[in-house]
Structure 1
């Protein structure tokens, strides 16, 4: 008996959001998407009951990638979903699952397995957060008030973040089936956009953050104490994040421009309709063919590595071997300062390497090299996995083109022939695009961005927004011309 037959009774009964019967009007899709986003923002502001203070964010700078909110019911964010996807991609890449996602039964098993893994990851992430690392400490005053132990309050906190993890799973599924785009992507865009708006328009008197506009208002009105602007100190002040933030503005605009340009770079394969004479089209193989979503998987893997290091240090303390990790408190966060976990920690701002390079150049160069290698190679590998498991590979694409009634002019109308043509472009472009996105993410981190969002978060936001724009354009086209649904692979 195979594992599929054994697990089928459980996996096929996992709660799921029903798929719509027939075509969902575009306005209704926007309504579902907007409603889920409003619910997401609301839940990120629902603080955990029983928590002492805000606690310490175990994910630190990875928060922009994992979404959610520190100390809120969405504490875990999309972390469990992404981690479950990493496990499934690795298992699928090694061909250990034996599932054919084109088979409806296997597709149901895959979705059920993904949900089960998300639940497992909620427990594997939430239990250390609450009970081991002290990142979400229970309030002793509340325990005393109710006459229970702090362990009971900790269990209550864990129950809340577990419910939040389940909610965000189904919110993602609602958007994927009834809305526009991907829930995971939209949650990242929501969090990063909020940080970007705060970085531009934040006013210290209102938000406890000095934004770009306020910084320049203070400079131009003389409210800020500035060194002579034509000196080296003045130049550093205008460029640095503590002053004019010109470098952060330049990096933000540059990343925006590069991603939009890269999204438009493509190899277009000509297509013609097999039955309608003169009906022609093109299949675009974009430079960033796998999109930047695989970067979520790479950064989430790094986040889990750093999370493991903090958990180990919280349990071992000073007894932790120095070669494994040395930690210190920095701005209320536990930060690695030596050992393997230090070298695996990405650099997220210019201050992370400019100041340190003057005292320990070798260490900083090693960290940059490790992060660059991790992101470039990891980006390429996860991009390949993403393409193969999401139905974007040469085989699946050839079948999609065949089913739409199109063919490549000059070649026999056969999926195998089209697959061979697509294999000339898709695998190579996928690897190059994944490596390029990884390189851009590291460069953006090192130069800094407006709002102190991570380079990966900015890349994801621009790319997801661009693709959302394209998807909205397709939806509007299909609303005006219902026959186009067959070309785009949508069913009525």
Structure 2
């Protein structure tokens, strides 16, 4: 039986939307469709800027962090999957070390654990969003902008959590977390190779994409040691 810790989250988890597992056998093509839909939603959210905040920028202190946690600067995916992963790791460590009681062979305990994980994910989303806003990482925002951005990040975190739950419960293929990480890495590779946007710096003819910069340098006789 689950301990008091997991049961304490039960009243709150009832108000959080959930994805029900399929009551029939889902065909492989249908799983591909739902997986592609989740991926498209993630990519669209990665390109939708937060209110009052532009996408990208000259410097990003969290660049390598974003690759790991499928985050996109200045967009709805600013936090990425970080809060979900953090919440899951905390509960897994507590359960594995015996600090909380949970019998994963018991369906009721598994349901309580899942509910607690969802509640803690939203708590971590709110905490991380607040830290970003208070620290000024998202820029100097006025109070009204901060409230709007906070709500946007909370809604985005909830959507990502539901997408991951949809895939894990049998509607999709694999894990939503892994899917978003792979999508973020693939997107970064494509941009770094084929982006036609100018690279930051004084030279307007330098391109962010390595392949584009290489082709331009070869075609115009420019030195190859400064293509990016």
TM-score between both structures, scaled by the size of structure 2? 0.84
Residues 1:42 and 2:40 aligned together: no
The residue number in structure 2 matching 1:164 is 156
Give the deviation of 1:219 after TM superposition: 4.6
Change (3 A) 1:210 1:122: closer
Q: Report the Cα distance in structure 2 between the residues aligned to 1:214 and 1:105, rounded to whole angstroms.
A: 55
The residue number in structure 2 matching 1:184 is 177
8 A contact 1:52–1:137 mirrored in 2: no
Number of aligned residues = 219
Which deviations, in whole Å up to 9, do the C-alpha atoms of 1:230-277 show, x marking residues without a partner? Answer: xxxxxxx4xxxx559xxxxxxxxxxxxxxxxxxxxxxxxxxxxxxxxx
The residue number in structure 2 matching 1:3 is 4
Give the deviation of 1:72 after TM superposition: 1.1
Give the deviation of 1:4 after TM superposition: 5.2
Once structures 1 and 2 are overlaid, which stretch shifts more, 13-22 or 72-81?
A: 13-22
Q: Report the Cα distance in structure 2 between the residues aligned to 1:69 and 1:224, rounded to whole angstroms.
A: 33
CA RMSD of aligned residues (A): 2.8
The residue number in structure 2 matching 1:220 is 218
Q: Report the Cα distance in structure 2 between the residues aligned to 1:5 and 1:181, rounded to whole angstroms.
A: 26
Q: Report the Cα distance in structure 2 between the residues aligned to 1:125 and 1:189, rounded to whole angstroms.
A: 23
Change (3 A) 1:48 1:85: same
8 A contact 2:3–2:102 mirrored in 1: no
Q: Report the Cα distance in structure 2 between the residues aligned to 1:153 and 1:205, rounded to whole angstroms.
A: 30
The residue number in structure 2 matching 1:98 is 101
Give the deviation of 1:126 after TM superposition: 0.6
Give the deviation of 1:53 after TM superposition: 7.5
The residue number in structure 1 matching 2:143 is 151
Change (3 A) 1:198 1:2: closer
Superposition pairs for residues 55-454 of structure 1, below 5 Å? 57=60, 59-130=62-133, 132-139=134-141, 150-177=142-169, 178-204=171-197, 209-226=207-224, 237=225, 242-243=226-227
Change (3 A) 1:91 1:57: farther
Q: Report the Cα distance in structure 2 between the residues aligned to 1:179 and 1:5, rounded to whole angstroms.
A: 27
Give the deviation of 1:152 after TM superposition: 2.2
Question: Highest relative contact order (Cα 8 Å, sep 6+), 1 or 2?
Answer: 2
Give the deviation of 1:73 after TM superposition: 1.6
Change (3 A) 1:165 1:94: same
Q: Report the Cα distance in structure 2 between the residues aligned to 1:9 and 1:213, rounded to whole angstroms.
A: 53
Q: Report the Cα distance in structure 2 between the residues aligned to 1:39 and 1:160, rounded to whole angstroms.
A: 15
The residue number in structure 2 matching 1:359 is none
Give the deviation of 1:50 after TM superposition: 2.9
Change (3 A) 1:220 1:81: same
Give the deviation of 1:51 after TM superposition: 3.1
Q: Report the Cα distance in structure 2 between the residues aligned to 1:135 and 1:8, rounded to whole angstroms.
A: 31
Q: Report the Cα distance in structure 2 between the residues aligned to 1:181 and 1:86, rounded to whole angstroms.
A: 19
Q: Report the Cα distance in structure 2 between the residues aligned to 1:44 and 1:189, rounded to whole angstroms.
A: 14
8 A contact 1:69–1:77 mirrored in 2: yes
Change (3 A) 1:72 1:23: same
Q: Report the Cα distance in structure 2 between the residues aligned to 1:97 and 1:28, rounded to whole angstroms.
A: 38
Unaligned runs of 5+ in 1: 140-149, 227-236, 245-492
Change (3 A) 1:166 1:57: farther
Unaligned runs of 5+ in 2: 201-205
Change (3 A) 1:164 1:21: same
Change (3 A) 1:5 1:212: closer
